[in-house]
Structure 1
């Protein structure tokens, strides 16, 4: 039995590996080799991986291919990478700085209280950004293809991502907000800060 792997799937995996390789190289240069400028340049280059994937996805469809779930996966990857990329960089930076540069211990997510509520809304907000980017890219890909019959898979991907967002919304930020309200843990001022994106 011969297993055929689509080139775009290989590229998505390569982009994910490339992201962590560039990130690792940037942190290595910054903290271990003591070359902060080179480290900064490498870290800034991480979005290039997303651009490569987007161009390859558009090119693949422009060549006459049918939009499949793989193209939708590429769009979702782009959205998640953009929305959560900064958080992943900060997560890795804190740990490498603590391990190799005597930095403070990594900040852990709050487990309860108003801080937990703010954290959950902030994380879901990132998902909402990822959803908006991914759906925008998929709509753009539909425009590129130009034939509704060849883009059905993308509609399915958009629906699936929306369902995930709804479950996340109810199961985490809404749940923790209601729980804290029931315990009287959210003051009027705290409620106003629940959706604060600046934290």
Structure 2
């Protein structure tokens, strides 16, 4: 049941997002669209409540409860970012909004962007770890909470691996290709205007 609910929450996330943005930009009902988008966090609340009830009713803590905590954590860490990015794209595509600004591709600007994404992963992993710890305390039986502890370690691993990847962008910043630099040099050449 928990896995089915996680899938339903994921589907619900995208359905609410599509409905909210459709109301906001295509139906020209921005307030109603915003209200629908504000329903998104209720999905995680429902998942949290159902998972808690499942444990309270004596269900053996296992990977499904760990997955639910990870899902809630990553929705908290990345949900707003995802909605904002898609909102910008839909506004540009259907409501004459400005083109969305993509992430920087090169140099320290890209490293900072990757660092900010890593911080989102840290938030997601921390939320998941806290929810899992609360579940461990709630169940209280050290013998049956091993899978929840394993999910806490998985959350830490995900944050650690993402941190190493983000760090590589700072240690070895990606440089723009040589052909991408040439037009910039030509445009800035002092005599470029005189030859026109």
Shift in Å, 1:164: 1.9
Shift in Å, 1:165: 1.6
Secondary structure in 1 matching 2:172: helix
Secondary structure in 1 matching 2:156: helix
**What is aligned with 1:135?**
129
RMSD over aligned CA atoms reads: 1.2
Given that residues 44 and 72 in structure 2 are in contact (C-alpha distance below 8 angstroms), is that contact kept between their aligned partners in structure 1? yes
Given that residues 125 and 158 in structure 2 are in contact (C-alpha distance below 8 angstroms), is that contact kept between their aligned partners in structure 1? no
1:15 matched to 2:9: yes
**What is aligned with 1:168?**
162
Larger Rg: 2
CA offset digits 1:21-63 (Å, max 9, x no partner)? 1111100000000001100100111100010000000000000
CA offset digits 1:94-145 (Å, max 9, x no partner)? 1111111011122211111121011010000000000110000000111111
- The TM-score, its normalising length taken from structure 2, stands at 0.86
Shift in Å, 1:176: 1.2
- The TM-score, its normalising length taken from structure 1, stands at 0.85
**What is aligned with 1:179?**
172
1:97 matched to 2:70: no
Runs of 4+ in 1 over 2 A off after TM superposition: none
Instruction: Number of aligned residue pairs: give it.
Output: 174
Structure 2 segments unaligned to the other structure (5+ residues): 174-196
1:71 matched to 2:65: yes
